């Protein structure tokens, strides 16, 4: 796998050809999905192609919704057409019975021949020889379409990687900005803590020295977000490592997106000033964008 390692779950490819009077075409489409949902449609007479198609698709697609459709038609129109004598005789009997009821014009030959069942045409795939001759070409065509699909999904994966890396950079910048706020300095935290303790004492509640220490520790914990910032930075590094790795990493990136969101929620909940809240909400917005993007990663 080339590029930055990510593969998109969305893509489209097609291939077609002609062999022994049979025109065939594969259409492949992949979309987002939590697991692997593979749907292969083949026309009557070519059911034997489906197992081979599924096996080859599974080599390329490991996650997402995959729809593969094989279309078949005879390229030699009119060849091997025969009249179904029994059906034609029955049609003519019905025509005579209808005409006997009144002055009705005789049917034209082309109209009679157009009636279902009057003309017999061998369906593609009915002949064993035709089927066997076409199968190899169809499977080869499917493999080519899958190669094109894989390349398209990798190209889109490269775009996703660039976008996701930019979002990770924004996340890092925002938590750095939060950590550097004047309101987050030790002095500012102590001053805020002092004010909160004074308000607590003004209530007239008798507090022992031990209880005051407990309250101080509790208030300090409520506003301390160093651990949350450290965890966000650790998750950023983990995400960057996944983006540079091969294989299906979409589920793990989605898990990290949930962890990012958890830490951002805690940062906002612990905020004791407007600027931390503002940056925390910006952080949540970028994380939402990140999670939306990684939903497309295989």
Query: In this structure, are 139 and 111 located in the same domain?
Result: no
Q: 266 and 228 in one domain? A: yes
Kindly report the three-state secondary structure assignment for every residue of the chain: CCCCCCCECCEEEEEEEEECCEEEEEEEEEECCCCEEEEEECCCCCCCHHHHHHHHHHHHCCCEEEEEEEEEEECCCCCCCEECHHHHHHHHHHHHHHHCCCCCCCCCHHHHHHCCCCEECCCCCCCHHHHHHHHHHHHHHHHHHHHHHHHHHHHHHHHHHHHHHHHHHHHHHHHHHHHCCHHHCHHHHHHHHHHHHHHHHHCCCCCCHHHHHHHHHHHHHHHCCHHHHHHHHHHHHHHHHHHCCCCCCHHHHHHHHHHHHHHHHHHHHHCCCHHHHHHHHHHHHHHHHHHHHHCCEC
Same-domain status, 59 and 135? yes
Question: Is 178 inside a domain boundary?
Answer: yes
Residues 140 and 232 in one domain: no
**pLDDT for residue 31 is more than 80:** yes
Are 178 and 290 members of one domain? yes
Residues 250 and 267 in one domain: yes
Give the other-Cβ count within 10 Å of 78's Cβ: 8
Q: What is the pLDDT of residue 2?
A: 41
Residue 49 lies in a domain: yes
Separation of alpha carbons 285 and 290, rounded Å: 9
Beta bridge partners of 119: 83
Confidence at residue 123, expressed as pLDDT on a 0 to 100 scale: 54
The pLDDT of residue 130 is above 60? no
2 belongs to a structural domain: no
For residue 17, the domain's CATH number is 3.30.230
Residue 23 lies in a domain: yes
- pLDDT reported for residue 158: 94
132 and 253 housed in the same domain: no
Residue 265 lies in a domain: yes
- Domain end call among 120, 142, 175: 120
Predicted pLDDT of residue 125? 46
Mark whether 56 and 137 lie in a shared domain. yes
Describe the crossing of helices 128-179 and 274-294 by its angle, rounded to 10 degrees: 170
The pTM is what? Answer: 0.69
List of residues 6+ apart from 125 with CB closer than 8 A: 22, 43, 44, 45, 46, 72, 131, 134
DSSP bridge partners of 31: 65
In a domain, 1, yes or no: no
Range of the domain at 249: 155-294
* Residue 166 within a domain: yes
The string of pLDDT tens digits covering residues 149-183 is 999 999 999 999 999 999 999 999 999 999 988 77
pLDDT digits (tens, 9 = 90+) for 248-272: 899 999 999 999 999 999 999 988 7
| pLDDT tier for residue 298 given thresholds of 50, 70 and 90 | very high
The tens digit of pLDDT for each residue in 50-65 reads 999 999 999 999 999 9
pLDDT in tens, 71-113: 988 765 545 567 888 888 888 988 888 888 887 888 888 788 7
Which of 67, 98, 120 is a domain's end point?
120
Query: Are residues 263 and 177 part of one domain?
Result: yes
Q: Domain count for the chain, please give it.
A: 3
280 lies in some domain:
yes
Judgement on whether residues 32 and 92 belong to the same structural domain of the protein: no
User: Are both 271 and 171 inside the same structural domain?
Assistant: yes
User: Given this model, what pLDDT does residue 208 score?
Assistant: 65
One domain, residues 260 and 178: yes
């Amino acid at each position: 796998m080339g590029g930055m390692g990510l593969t998109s779950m969305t893509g489209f490819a097609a291939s077609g050809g002609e062999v022994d009077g049979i025109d065939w075409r594969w259409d492949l489409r992949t979309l987002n999905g939590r697991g692997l949902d593979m749907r292969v449609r083949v026309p009557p007479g070519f059911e034997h192609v489906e197992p081979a198609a599924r096996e080859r698709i599974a080599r390329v697609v490991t996650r997402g919704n995959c729809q593969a459709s094989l279309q078949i038609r005879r390229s030699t129109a009119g060849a091997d057409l025969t009249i179904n004598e029994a059906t034609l005789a029955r049609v003519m009997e019905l025509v005579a019975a209808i005409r006997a009821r009144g002055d009705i014009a005789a049917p034209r030959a082309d109209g009679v021949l157009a009636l279902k069942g009057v003309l017999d045409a061998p369906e593609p795939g009915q002949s064993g020889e035709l089927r066997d001759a076409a199968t190899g070409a169809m499977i080869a065509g499917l493999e080519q379409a899958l190669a094109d699909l894989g390349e398209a999904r990798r190209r889109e994966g490269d775009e996703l990687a660039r976008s996701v890396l930019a979002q990770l950079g924004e996340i890092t910048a925002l938590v750095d900005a939060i950590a550097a706020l004047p309101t987050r300095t030790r002095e500012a935290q102590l001053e805020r803590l002092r004010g909160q303790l004074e308000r607590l004492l003004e209530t007239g509640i008798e507090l022992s020295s031990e209880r005051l220490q407990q309250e101080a520790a509790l208030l300090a914990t409520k506003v301390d977000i160093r651990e949350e910032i450290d965890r966000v930075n650790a998750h950023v590094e983990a995400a960057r490592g996944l983006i540079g790795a091969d294989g299906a990493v979409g589920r793990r990136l989605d898990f990290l997106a949930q962890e990012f969101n958890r830490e951002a929620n805690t940062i906002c909940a612990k905020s004791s000033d407007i600027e931390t809240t503002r940056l925390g909400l910006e952080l949540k917005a970028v994380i939402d964008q990140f999670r939306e993007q990684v939903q497309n990663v295989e």
